[in-house]
Amino acid sequence: MKAIIISRYGAPEVLTITELPDPIPAEGEILVEVKAFGLNHAETYMRSGQWGDVAQVTGIEAAGIVAADPSGRLAPGTPVVAIMGGMGRTRNGAYAELVTIPASNVVPVETGSAWADLAAVPEVYATAWTTLHDNLAVTSGATVLVRGATSALGQAAVNIAADLGATVIATTRSQANAALLEKIGATTVLIDDGNIADQVRDRDLAVDALLDLIGNSALRDSVAAVRPRGRVCQAGFLGGLAPLADFNPITDLPSGVQLSFFGSFVLGTPEFPLSDVPLAELVAKAAAGVYHAKPVRTFAFDEIVHAHEVMESGTAGGKMTVSLG
């Protein structure tokens, strides 16, 4: 099979197309013929070596068809989406024509969407759904602030929160993105100058829940932006992976504010079963246009280096995918 490998840790050009033996599924695994895969910032960290030693083939999500299922649960040809399960970290991932995935991380779907469109849904929508429902306990009528809303995960969160009946405040660094965020469900757009808490207070906004995708560099400000007994969930690191120095809960975390973290790599584990996430429903809503989930750009398999360059530039403006033809 053709696969894209990390030839060494470094810049996008280390991604190389090569031939590898076809993988063989073991018991408890499913062999998937990859039709398209989504691009995620996590893969730039894996490629560059920032997350230590990882699998030779990266890629944490895929859309395709079942090539083989030793258990007999899914028939060959069944359309599926798949995420995590160690892909790209502890086992070869989705940047390939074929990939073996733990059965717990493969979900059959019924959709008329193009493969490249389908591949834009699994990781970001499963992550956004989990953070909004579990970490932030968002319900209809709540006010949710999505920090880093123009990212692929941020847009998914705005879509889902708006569909839940929440009032959505979205942040972006550029006023040029305001129209897009309003189109997908934001009622208020704030320009993130690093002081969102001050803007929330100046506008007399009461934020019940805040999804922080910027990361440690914004954390102090984010926890100050929610109401007393509000919730903050950190689920991204658009501002970089550097740790936050000298964070002291006594002085930095307002009393009563609940702070949590969610890393999507746990999806499909016994503690976070993928069956808890209505992925088939999320796919259906994307196909029906309830969610504005189409990729902003789709690349060919041999354009992977350029795709990573665009992803790292921060100019994508949403989810990007790769089609295998």
% of the chain exceeding 90 in pLDDT: 93
Q: Token match 């591949």: residue?
A: 119
Closest to 232 (Cα-Cα) out of 224, 223, 241: 223
Q: What are phi and psi of 299, to 5 degrees?
A: -105, 155
273 within some domain: no
pLDDT score at 238: 86
3-state secondary structure of 47: helix
Residues 79 and 32 in one domain: yes
Look at residue 111 in the predicted model and tell me its pLDDT: 85
Q: Are residues 131 and 92 located together in one domain of the fold?
A: no
Question: Does 130 lie in the same domain as 116?
Answer: no
Domain membership flag for residue 130? yes
Q: Given a cut of 90, is residue 325 above it in pLDDT?
A: no
Mean pLDDT of the chain: 96
DSSP 8-state symbol, 171 = E
Q: Answer yes or no: do 92 and 149 share one domain.
A: no
Domain-located, residue 191:
yes
Instruction: Indicate if the pLDDT at residue 235 is higher than 90.
Output: yes
Residue 83 sits in a domain of what CATH number? 3.90.180.10
CA gap 29, 202 in Å, rounded: 53
Which range, of 27-31, 111-115, 159-163, averages the lowest pLDDT? Answer: 111-115
Closest Cα partner for 122 from 132, 108, 112? 108
Please report which residue ranges of 58-206 form alpha helices under DSSP H: 115-118, 122-130, 152-163, 178-183, 196-202
Q: What domain range includes position 110?
A: 2-120+294-323
pLDDT tens for 30-71 read: 999 999 999 999 999 999 999 899 999 999 999 999 999 999
Please state the domain count of the chain. Answer: 2
Classify residue 16: in a domain, yes or no.
Answer: yes
305: helix, strand or coil: helix
CB of 88 closer than 8 Å to CB of 13: no
Decide if 175 contacts 191 (C-beta within 8 A).
yes
pLDDT tens-digit profile of 3-22?
Answer: 999 999 999 999 999 999 99
List, for residues 285-316, the tens digit of each pLDDT value: 999 999 999 999 999 999 999 999 999 998 88
Query: Among 157, 22, 205, 9, which residue's Cα sits nearest to residue 98?
Result: 22
pLDDT number for residue 286: 95
Q: Which strand (E) or helix (H) includes residue 36?
A: strand 29-38
Q: Which residues does residue 298 pair with via DSSP β-bridges, in sequence order?
A: 321
Which pTM was predicted? 0.94
Query: Confidence band (pLDDT; 50, 70, 90) for 186?
Result: very high
Residues 20 and 146 in one domain: no
CB 205 within 8 A of CB 187: no
